[in-house]
Chain A
Amino acid sequence: MLELIRSRRLRERYALLWLATGAVLLVLSAWRGGLNTIAGWVGVTGYPPAVLFAVATLFILVVLLHYSTVISRLSDQNSILAQRVALLEERVGESEQGGSQLDSRSNAGLGG
């Protein structure tokens, strides 16, 4: 994880999310008493570690939902960028053409 951040492949805010997830799960799996207490709260009596899976699943769902929103935003921004690039490209092509026409006209004027 630290290596991923160091090589800038992962932004700190996402790393924090994963580290927090890992820490919570680690604490819950090591600290059996706490897990049992929580299991008691939510009414899981048969097999307390099931709570562990439930918590892990919830975390994963939240992370995935978050990613969906991030992807949506990125693809919106991406298409806006594509449109802007295309429009600018058209404008550049146009003014280059206009420029060369101007050049040939002034050249013709000089020649005449």
Chain B
Amino acid sequence: MTATMTELESIVAAKVVDARGAACPGPLLEAKKGMPGVPIGSVIEIWSSDPVTKTDISAWSGKVGHEFLGVLEADGYDRVLVRRAK
């Protein structure tokens, strides 16, 4: 279930990964590497200037079993939010 915009904006991520400037597969790799540092049930936030990242991370989350929460648009980059499920 995707969260609403207000719900998304109120989330405080346990970890923020700044992958701005990196193109695919960079942000995906950073998400994969950053996940072990996030407590189960907490949220990881990936910053990316590559517009493809949100769909990529969404697909990846589904495949590996984490909860893709949604995307917040910042100035020139996306903030992609995923909850660690396992």
A and B part of one assembly: no
